[in-house]
A = this chain, B = another copy of it.
Amino acid sequence: MASELIESLQINCYIMNKIKEPLSVDRMPGAPLIITKYSSSFWKVTLDNPPINLMGPDMVAGLQRLMDEIETNNELKVIVFDSANEDYFVSHFDVLRGAELPQVSGKLGVTQWIDVSNRLHNAGVISIAVIRGRVRGIGSEFILACDMRFASKEKAIFGHLEVGMGLLPGGGAAEYLPLLSGYARAMEIAVSSDDFSAEIAEKYGWINRAFPDEELDAYVGNLATRISGFELAALQATKSTMLKRAGGGPNPFEIQESSNKFFELFQRPAAQKLFAKLMDMGFQTESDTETRLGHFLGTLAEDK
């Protein structure tokens, strides 16, 4: 079969030309990010905020500093994002520390998170997310802002928890997801607040493709290595043309509008009560509640 021929070529190509030792591996000062430079054109950024990789103010601020660096770098071509924790790519937004996030940040007058994700989506580098473990809420919105997404069939679990908490997915999912999955599947993901497997995520266009765990790194390693060897002028002309044809990608001011609605809903007593219940159940900690959050959000609904 043609498919076997091609896939074996892609894996073998990677094995034969396996990425050499990185030039450097550094933790970004003050941020839960590990930056691995394989070459001047290929970096990997590993999210590392134990124990469950919450996306909090330090991670968002670190990603913003990364964007500053990327935008002034004329050699970088491809950046891969993964997680240090195989159980959590990003659990979700650190709700307890939401107030610490700058409300206006960057040149567009939007919040820091929207500034970061919008700049990543429009950056002159190719961004690829490699997902193992749970990726929910803002974690899903982070990978959606990347150019591409690949996930482990065995280890990746996807979800949007917001509706189950009395909120809406307000950090980009309402804008990015329907473009990839269509309205009907985006609605199912959002209003179910349930967990989804990598196979379903692939079927719904949430990710480019799901791979058996043992093939995932080989595929992405081969892809990123290829990209890092191609000409920057060609990569940038392709990305800017594709983005332009897609209407420039999601509008950051529309995301800001969704985000305002998110915080408006969160202020309500009903949402505060749901949040308090979840905290009692171990939310935001290493707990069965986080492991099977989709399931527990359903039981929370039944309690009412």
Known: A153-B2, A238-B190. A185 touches B208 (CB 8 A): yes
Q: Which of B13, B154, B166 contacts A234 (CB 8 A)?
A: B166
Given contacts A183-B243, A245-B175, contact A237 B302 (CB under 8 A): no
Chain B residues lying within 8 Å of A193, measured Cβ to Cβ, are 226, 230
Q: Tell me what chain A mostly uses at the interface: helix, strand, loop, or mixed.
A: helix
Per the bound structure, the CA–CA distance linking A234 and B274 in Å amounts to 12
- In the complex, whether A241 has a CB less than 8 A from a CB of chain B is yes
Question: Are B2 and A183 in contact, with the CB atoms below 8 A?
Answer: no
Per-residue CB contact flags for chain A residues 162-194 toward chain B (1 = under 8 Å, else 0) read 111111110000110011101111111011111
A148 and B184 contact, Cβ closer than 8 Å, known pairs A2-B156, A2-B198? yes
Taken together, the copies of this chain in the complex come to: 3
CB pair A191 B235 closer than 8 Å:
yes
User: Which residues of chain B are near A1, meaning CB under 8 Å?
Assistant: 153-154, 197
Q: Say yes or no: B3 contacts A188, CB within 8 Å.
A: no
Chain B residues with CB under 8 A of A243? 183
Determine if A279 is an interface residue (Cβ-Cβ < 8 Å).
no
A183's partner among B169, B190, B246 (CB-CB below 8 A) is B246
A228-259 with Cβ < 8 A to chain B: 228-231, 233-235, 237-239, 241-243, 245-246, 249, 254, 258
Whether the pair B200, A3 counts as a contact (CB closer than 8 A) is: yes
Once bound together, how far apart are the Cα atoms of A125 and B165, in whole Å? 18
Query: Which residues of B are found within 8 Å of A62, using beta-carbon distances?
Result: none
Report yes or no: B174 in contact with A183, Cβ–Cβ below 8 A.
no
Bound CA span A153–B4, Å = 10
Which B residues are in CB contact (< 8 Å) with A239? 187, 191
Interface pair B223/A163, CB less than 8 Å apart: no
Which range contains the number of A residues in contact with the other chain?
35 or more
Could you tell me the distance in whole angstroms from the C-beta of A285 to the nearest C-beta in chain B? 21
Is B184 in contact with A295, judged by CB distance below 8 angstroms? no
Give which listed residue, B174, B234, B294, contacts A167 with CB less than 8 A. B234
Cβ–Cβ contact B188 & A208, under 8 A: yes
Q: Could you say which residues of chain B place their CB within 8 Å of the CB of A166?
A: 230-231, 233-234
- Scan residues 1-42 of chain A and give those whose CB is less than 8 A from a CB of chain B: 1-3, 6-7, 9-10, 13, 17
Q: What's the nearest-Cβ distance from chain B to residue A139, in Å?
A: 15
Given A164-B230, A183-B246, A187-B238, 17 more A-B residue pairs with CB atoms under 8 Å apart are A2-B157, A3-B198, A6-B197, A10-B194, A148-B185, A148-B187, A166-B231, A178-B242, A179-B183, A183-B249, A190-B242, A191-B235, A191-B239, A200-B209, A202-B203, A233-B265, A241-B261
Q: Name 5 A/B residue pairs within 8 A (Cβ), A-sorted.
A: A1-B153, A163-B231, A165-B234, A168-B234, A174-B241
